[in-house]
Structure 1
Amino acid sequence: MVSISAVQPYDEAAGVRAVWPFVSIIVPTRNRAAYLRDVLGALSNQVYPVGRMEIIVIDNSSTDETEDVVRQAAVTGPFPVRYLRKQDDGPASSRNRGAEMATGEILAFTDSDCVPAPGWVRAAVARFDPGVALVCGPILPVWDGPDPAFFMHQIYEVMHEDGLYATANVFYRREAFLARGGFDERFRTYAWGQPVGGDDTDLAWRVRRAGGMSTFAKDAVVYHQASPISARAYLLQPLAAQIIPQLVARIPELRTTSLYKRYFLHRQSATFCLAVAGIVGARRTRTSLVLTLPWLQATWPAVKRDIWPPRRWGRAGLRFALQAQSSALLSITLIQSSIRNRSVVL
């Protein structure tokens, strides 16, 4: 294994560089002590020079063992760990407070249910060529056991620069971040406790429109732990998509970078709209039911896990019903928000 202190940044033009830039990693959290332990362990294992990195944990008034976990990491890890406890007023505020505390010229953001690969920081920092203001990287979902839990927090896989710049894996030059005023703190949380989201996408595009370039570091990998949630939280997840039409109204470029066929949130939402058209058309001709096949095909991977083995037919039927309910609620949510924001996303 390579010693962290022995690693030197590589510059193709000049050879081995003497010093890596100082990086401040900012992690907002609330009541995720068990996951946070994994995150801080992964950050302590970063292949990056000691003395050139710090970890900042912003605690949104946790009631679990979060503070104890942070204190332990501060004692045992090679990098300094700083801690701030504050009122729970949303993740955007927490990230901004972390940036205010930071001393690094590069600000790195990840979430408290993410596990960065050992070369995460090094790979991202290496992509900060002149003119580059932000760097993002892959986000890969992982879970405990062979199959995900039945009610699972919805996360998505990122394998290329998708225009959303999720804070699970994004780096900013400090001056670019501060020049744009950081994250918009009006993006808070919904009534049921889920973050509104969108603050990450909003900031990234403000930075880009100000002339900052972005790039994708394919080796700067973060693993996002798909955590079990309550049935209520699972059923309410599609409501969070109401922010999407608002973002697209603000940032029309998202139609080409992030949406499917410019007007659909993703392929599955497009196939659901097609399926609804097929069901409505069946009142005239049953052949229109063929339009439901793409949605059934898109839903099949989630259902087939329960069909063989162990042939849990009841569970498979329930999963299919929940997929249909989720798709329907998502479609209704997007239509309502599209009308409200005068920006069509289906």
Structure 2
Amino acid sequence: MNQILPLVSVIVIDYKKKNPYLIECLEAIEKQTYKNFEIILVCDFHVDLDYPKLRQKSYGHYVGPAEKRDAGAKMAKGEILAFIDDDAFPCEGWLAGLVPHFQKAKVAGVGGPGVTPPGVSWQEEASGWASASPVGAGPYTYRFLPGKKQYVDDYPSMNLAVRRFDFMKVGGYDSNFWPGEDTKLCLDLTHKLNKQIIYEPKAIVFHHRRPILLPHLRQNGNFGLHRGFFARILPETSLRLIYFLPSLLLLGSIFMVISSFPLVPITKNLAPITLLRSIGFYSFSLYFFVLFLNSLWVLNKSKNVFQSLLSIPVIFITHLWYGVRFLQGFLFTAKLIQ
């Protein structure tokens, strides 16, 4: 790859006829300090736009995200493909943070954090803190807030750049795996090609969240469904304890509720049931204490008491619903359907 200003193809996919965030996204891309780029917009329906570096492909009907990204990659002229969602917009140094890593031949991809934009509604902000906080995100807070530079083996395509040659070599995105086609792509890059994906904290995009509660739960439920499915069929990067914890919380909650009913008095005197209830009580006490500590973390970051308190029920409900959908994907889903 040329080390002096390689051409970057920024690929944006859009699926709404009237998307309030698309212009915000494109205008931020135009302001990049790194100037050698083109913009490829792939959408379901044609959008009247006039940007000097923009090329557009539209279908006139609904097409899945993976197919759109693959179509954008085929149109691309750049050595680097930079994928960004249409509800995200990059900081001015986004491309400048991504590109230098590709000077190393071993690097196939680079991702950066997707931070909740400032000034959004309280519902969107609450969704953002539920996703970005230590208890909400677990060890993956760096996906939502700038963390330390590191190697990763799985990264979402809302902010992911990939070497075009490597992308084509593994066949691009697999439309059979949606949602979660980015997990399959990263697995192919790191395991099939034995290449590296780097997390670059300076390559920031501002990513709008689904507002609480139903849109937020719907999205996180989809994440749980695909992760459960992948834990079964792609265990290399998905069969990890952290992904099972919400389901354990769900099953524990069901057990505690059922065993508390007076309809089953005989079970209350059984030693194993009593022991399990004791374990459950202390486990839930610890969980909610950690949620409280997490709310203090949110308070420190947000300087907002309301958001801090709201994070407790939002994260708890999110964990339960993620757990439901994870089990559905892990045990009962034969194929992910777009």
Instruction: Provide the TM-score with structure 2 as the length reference.
Output: 0.73
Asked if 1 retains the 8 angstrom alpha-carbon contact of 2:111 and 2:159, the reply is yes
C-alpha root-mean-square deviation of aligned residues, in Å? Answer: 3.6
Q: Distance in 2 between the 1:325 and 1:53 partners?
A: 42
Report how far residue 239 of structure 1 moved.
3.3
- Structure 2 equivalent of residue 3 of structure 1: none
**SS where residue 171 of structure 1 aligns?**
strand
Q: Distance in 1 between the 2:244 and 2:206 partners?
A: 22
Matched AA of 1:204: C
Task: State whether structure 2 residue 243 is matched by structure 1 residue 265.
Answer: yes
Q: Distance in 2 between the 1:90 and 1:27 partners?
A: 13
- Structure 2 equivalent of residue 8 of structure 1: none
- Structure 1 equivalent of residue 106 of structure 2: 131
Superposition pairs of residues 143-222 of structure 1, within 5 angstroms: 144-145=119-120, 147-149=122-124, 152=127, 157=141, 158=143, 159=147, 161-187=151-177, 196-208=178-190, 209-222=192-205
Report how far residue 137 of structure 1 moved.
1.9
Q: Distance in 2 between the 1:38 and 1:280 partners?
A: 50
- Structure 2 equivalent of residue 83 of structure 1: 56
**SS where residue 197 of structure 2 aligns?**
strand
Matched AA of 2:39: I
Asked if 1 retains the 8 angstrom alpha-carbon contact of 2:228 and 2:328, the reply is no
- Structure 2 equivalent of residue 339 of structure 1: 331
Task: State whether structure 2 residue 29 is matched by structure 1 residue 43.
Answer: yes
Superposition pairs of residues 1-346 of structure 1, within 5 angstroms: 19-31=4-16, 33-49=19-35, 52-61=36-45, 67-68=47-48, 70-71=49-50, 74=51, 80-86=53-59, 87-128=61-102, 129-142=104-117, 144-145=119-120, 147-149=122-124, 152=127, 157=141, 158=143, 159=147, 161-187=151-177, 196-208=178-190, 209-228=192-211, 232-240=214-222, 241-255=224-238, 262-265=240-243, 283=268, 284=274, 287-288=278-279, 289-300=281-292, 324-340=316-332
Q: Distance in 1 between the 2:254 and 2:287 partners?
A: 10
Q: Deviations over 1:305-336 (max 9, x none)?
A: 8xx98889xx96xx866655543332232223
Asked if 1 retains the 8 angstrom alpha-carbon contact of 2:11 and 2:72, the reply is yes
Q: Deviations over 1:76-130 (max 9, x none)?
A: xxxx111111231211011011111110011110101112111111111101112
Report how far residue 58 of structure 1 moved.
0.9
Asked if 2 retains the 8 angstrom alpha-carbon contact of 1:29 and 1:59, the reply is yes
Q: Deviations over 1:219-242 (max 9, x none)?
A: 21222122437x543443443111
Say if 1:235 and 1:278 are closer, same or farther in 2 by CA, change over 3 A. same
Q: Deviations over 1:2-47 (max 9, x none)?
A: xxxxxxxxx9xxxxx6x21110000001226321111112111111
- Structure 2 equivalent of residue 191 of structure 1: none
**SS where residue 211 of structure 1 aligns?**
coil
How many aligned residue pairs are there?
A: 293
Q: Deviations over 1:138-191 (max 9, x none)?
A: 22223534734488588554145553221111111111111111111223xxxx
Greater alpha carbon shift after TM alignment, 104-113 vs 163-172: 163-172
Asked if 2 retains the 8 angstrom alpha-carbon contact of 1:132 and 1:213, the reply is yes
Matched AA of 1:186: N
The unaligned stretches of length 5 or more in structure 2 are: 133-140, 261-267, 269-273
Instruction: Provide the TM-score with structure 1 as the length reference.
Output: 0.71
Say if 1:298 and 1:265 are closer, same or farther in 2 by CA, change over 3 A. farther
